[in-house]
Structure 1
Amino acid sequence: MNAPPAAPAYRGRFAPSPTGDLHFGSLLAALGSWLLARAAGGEWLVRVEDLDPPREVPGAMQRQLAALAAFGLHSDTAIVRQSDRHALYQAALDTLMGDGRAFTCHCSRSDLAAAGGIHRRCVAPARTAAVRRVPAIRLRVADGTVIHFDDALQGPQTQDLAREVGDFVLKRADGHWAYQLAVVVDDAAQGITDVVRGADLLDSTPRQIALQHALALPTPRYAHLPLVVDDAGRKLSKSTAALPVDPRDPLPALRAAWSALGQAADAVAGAPSAEAFLERAKAAFQPRTIPRRPALEPAAMHNSAFTKLT
């Protein structure tokens, strides 16, 4: 009998949410995760994280995927949508509820305001809980729970999960799955070995590691790319990055993202197409030059052909 194929030593992913068109911050994460996967000789997957219908923009998923294709960034496997995977999340939640690691909770944000939003015990008044017929479900975080991990780009990280985060939500009172549970279940189910994403998600990682431990799932390696900020130090999603990159003219945005990743401009100079750019970028990529600190937005962000669709 032939042995099953070996799992890849490196499998990364890019996981956009369809809350708008592909912007520069998302392109930076997509390109950075693709380059690191290719540098390791691994696979790169695309997963659509469409579990928050109130925030979704009609048609955004299709436009995001079309933009990725225009930038030459193609998933190595079939694209997965989280909205098709409710049964997986429910099975994980049932496991956690069954062994007492998760519990129902009627506490609202206002109920937890006095504790800085950190849940250590349920404080919702009994009359309030009676009105809220559908509770949230939280992971029980034991006192003294401290999570340590070594981020490949940001270095050693430590978070006192009990004191800084508390018992966190796995399923919201509105019935929608929380990001933390879905991403952990999907990363494990897809065999993700390396999570590469923006540094704005760095403080989510300890929650995900705690969930991995609770569900007896493997913990992938993590690398959090630098954010790109404007002159005022604002994350670009709050300013220019909210404008979509233009898939009709992908090279300016690709060059800007390459620069923000700390790579040498001359390595990709003169590339005539997105495909040619990616081939040169793959050959010249130097992971050690990716900066830790936020980078200032590139001047190209102000080029209307780069940021605006008409």
Structure 2
Amino acid sequence: MIRTRFAPSPNGQLHLGHAWAALVAHDLARAGGGEFLLRIEDIDGTRSRPELAQTFRDDLHWLGLTWDAEVIQSQRLGHYAAAGARLKAMGLLYPCRCTRAQIAAAAREIGPDGPVYPGTCRRHPIDPDGHDMAWRLDVAGAMARTGPLHWDDALAGRQAARPDLFGDVVILRKEAPASYHLAATLDDAADAVTLVTRGMDLFAATHIHRLLQALLDLPVPRWHHHPLLLDDDTGRKLAKRRGSPSLADRRDAGQDGIALAEALRRHDFPAGISLGVGVGSLS
């Protein structure tokens, strides 16, 4: 049975880009006779605003969407800690206190997330004392353990996993219980998600997630990376911080949410918004 999820973070209100992502996940599940899950990803430290979770629910109902189950990410902190401990026991995590400025100054490559960490604290280990440090994955060591890996995207087809493009990514953050990479991978497994739907901006992250699945003996779903809604003036994805009107603002203004959802399904986007270039078709 197909099972998808929409997983917003309560650090800002939802906008049309989120509505589009929720519709894609919801409609794929319903078309396949499956289930649609709402997951509130609320472990981003002080940036998380618990009161926004109810706003998200109201937004989705306004769009005419229903979900079969709901998960609150912060209820799984022990799950993340156990996975981190397992990776440490495998000798694949090492502590790091490098700042972003230090990494940018020392990096020799640019990867999908920006400057690639040059392995400073792997080559010159630090004492793992205190809490002011992150834990990074020794990606080369992890890849040597798993061997070649692949993953399948519904639009882009079969992909060879290339986690090395990221360098040694952070798995346990200084200021949060887990990185996005670890939390999303563990959550999708725990939630029995069979089709991970998300925007093309997260396509490359799947290389890391596939590696973590192999290391932690997790089930491997299929992925569906859909094109993003873009601001025609800037060519960038919609974002609240760049002035994209929130769904709550549209609700308060009396806009018809169900009519808006139907328009998005028809690719009839509001003026100034277009669908970015993706792989394949959503039809």
Q: TM-score, normalised by structure 1?
A: 0.73
Structure 1 residue 233 and structure 2 residue 235: aligned?
Answer: yes
- The change in CA–CA distance for 1:82 and 1:243 in structure 2 (over 3 A counts) is same
1: distance between equivalents of 2:268 and 2:204? 21
* Contiguous gaps of at least 5 residues in structure 1: 1-8, 263-290, 295-310
Q: Determine if contact 2:95/2:128 at 8 Å carries over to the other structure.
A: no
* Contiguous gaps of at least 5 residues in structure 2: 110-114, 270-274, 279-283
Runs of 4+ aligned structure 1 residues displaced above 6 Å come to 128-132
- 2:54 alignment counterpart: 62
The within-5 A match list for 1:54-203 is 54-57=46-49, 59-77=51-69, 79-113=70-104, 114-115=106-107, 116=109, 117-123=115-121, 134-142=132-140, 145=143, 148-158=150-160, 160-162=162-164, 164-203=165-204
- The change in CA–CA distance for 1:119 and 1:251 in structure 2 (over 3 A counts) is same
- The change in CA–CA distance for 1:241 and 1:256 in structure 2 (over 3 A counts) is farther
Q: CA deviation at 1:141?
A: 0.3
- 1:18 alignment counterpart: 10
User: Residue deviations 1:99-135, cap 9 Å, x none?
Assistant: 1122222222222222143234224998x97997522
Q: Find the residue that maps to 2:183 and give its secondary structure.
A: helix
User: Residue 50 of structure 1: which of 18, 34, 42 is its match?
Assistant: 42
Question: What percent identity do the matched residue pairs reach?
Answer: 38
User: Residue deviations 1:40-84, cap 9 Å, x none?
Assistant: 11111111000113322452111011111222212212x111111
User: Residue 21 of structure 2: which of 16, 25, 29 is its match?
Assistant: 29
197-206 or 24-33, larger mean C-alpha shift:
197-206
CA RMSD after TM alignment: 3.0
Q: Determine if contact 1:106/1:122 at 8 Å carries over to the other structure.
A: no
- 2:112 alignment counterpart: none
Q: Find the residue that maps to 1:209 and give its secondary structure.
A: helix
Q: Find the residue that maps to 2:174 and give its secondary structure.
A: coil
Number of aligned residues:
257
The amino acid across from 2:265 in the alignment is W
User: Residue 243 of structure 1: which of 235, 238, 246 is its match?
Assistant: 246
Structure 1 residue 293 and structure 2 residue 269: aligned?
Answer: no
